[in-house]
Each structure stands twice: as C-alpha cells, then as structure tokens.
Chain A
Amino acid sequence: AQTVTQSQPEMSVQEAETVTLSCTYDTSESDYYLFWYKQPPSRQMILVIRQEAYKQQNATENRFSVNFQKAAKSFSLKISDSQLGDAAMYFCAFMEFGNEKLTFGTGTRLTIIP
C-alpha cells in the first residue's frame, strides 16, 4: 500500500522569505502522480502543484516549485516570496497511474510571520 509521510507538522517563515515543505512516499510502482494541496482556514482544498513521475523536470507554478527526487521517493514544495495568504495547511498526495486512489499525508501547518 502506498504511504505518504510529511515529517513537519508545523513550519513558519517570515513574509517574503522562502520555505520548503518536505514529503516522502513509499510505492513499488514506477508510474504515478504527486500533488501538493493547500487547505486555508476556510477548509476548501486547493491544488497547488502537480508532478508526473515520468517527467524529470520539476514542476513550477509561479512562486511554487517542487524538488522531485524519484529515486529517493521525495517530493518537497518550495514557496518563494512567501505571502500572508500562503498561511494554510499543506498536504502532499499520491495517485498511482491507472488507479484513482488518492492518498494524502498528515499535513504541514504553515504560518507566515509579518
């Protein structure tokens, strides 16, 4: 069974600085997808970024980028120029190719310090 581990329950960063959230996963599959979701206080889940395992290039979405290390089964999220609106719970998630089961980690609560 796939597992997703987020080892940082809480993180904080100064506004305008950069922060990296960690995620590791365990799978025996070679084809899969990885996601980072954001859950603000409203509790609405929002997709931040997605990475296909077959792509070597790291995904980037504006201030958000990932460091995908397939061999190490690591998928970290980097947030640059942190903004107050980035404060939220961040969840790492895994989906196996051909199987729609979507598994989440336990989340990292990110606080932005003004």
Chain B
Amino acid sequence: DGGITQSPKYLFRKEGQNVTLSCEQNLNHDAMYWYRQDPGQGLRLIYYSQIVNDFQKGDIAEGYSVSREKKESFPLTVTSAQKNPTAFYLCASSSYRAGTEAFFGQGTRLTVV
C-alpha cells in the first residue's frame, strides 16, 4: 500500500541532545513537509522540500534541520538549539503539481525529559 510513514510514534529526548525523526513515503511525491502541532493549536510549517537536494525554511525553522538526499525520505533533526521541542510532529507529502492533496503520516510525539 502506498503511504507515508513516520517513526517512531513516541520519542523521548534528554535536554541538550539532538534527535532525528524519520519520514518515508512511497507515493512518488516530489514535495515533502514537516509541521509542528502544539496542544490546541494549528500546524506550523518547519521546513518543506519541493525536490531532492533542495528545501526551504518554513515559519518556525530555528532549532531544526532537514535533508532531502532521496525522493522518498525527508528526516527532521531537532537540535539542542530548539528551546521548546516538546510537541507533535507531522510529516506530509504531495505531488509536484500544485494543488494535489497532501498526504500525512501518523505523527511523532516528541517529549523532552
């Protein structure tokens, strides 16, 4: 089945550590996205990528980094520079033709302990 997979579902991190969230899609989509969702709030865009080896900052990129070495994969690293990383993270992908619906993974809940 085609889809988008995020792992792990739950992640715990100690303060001061970097952590990487995985996002893989087998939909042959060109565009991929990372969003952060805080309790009772909307989705805020962290980074997005329209094509392999290229990505753009979203609205809240500080403290995060990404790579897009393969079309299928768009990992997100939450660095120690991110002061408040506890949140729900959603990855999405869409086809390069603008306007096609974005498909979402099931999310990763990151908690700093």
Binding site for B on A (CB under 8 A): 6, 9, 33, 35, 42-45, 47, 50, 52, 91, 95-107
Q: Which residue of A lies closest to B93 (CB)?
A: A100
Chain A residues near B88 (CB, 8 Å)?
43
Select from chain B the residue with minimum beta-carbon distance to A108.
Answer: B42
Tell me if B25 is interfacial: C-beta within 8 Å of chain A.
no
In the bound complex, do residue A95 and residue B104 qualify as a contact, i.e. CB atoms below 8 Å apart?
A: no
The bracket for how many chain B residues form the interface is 20 to 34
Specify which chain A residues have a CB less than 8 angstroms from the CB of B45 in the assembled complex. 101-104
13 contacts between A and B (CB under 8 A): A33-B98, A43-B107, A47-B102, A91-B43, A95-B98, A95-B99, A97-B98, A97-B99, A99-B98, A100-B48, A100-B96, A101-B56, A107-B41
A105 to B40, CA, bound (A): 12
Instruction: Say yes or no for B101: interface residue by CB 8 A criterion.
Output: yes
Residues in B neighbouring A105, C-beta threshold 8 A:
42
Contacts of A96 in B (CB 8 A): 98
How long is the Cα–Cα vector from A45 to B76 in the complex, in angstroms? 19
B92 on the A face (CB < 8 A): yes
CA distance A52 to B101 in the complex (A): 12
**In B77-97, which residues have CB < 8 Å from any A CB?**
88, 90, 92, 94, 96
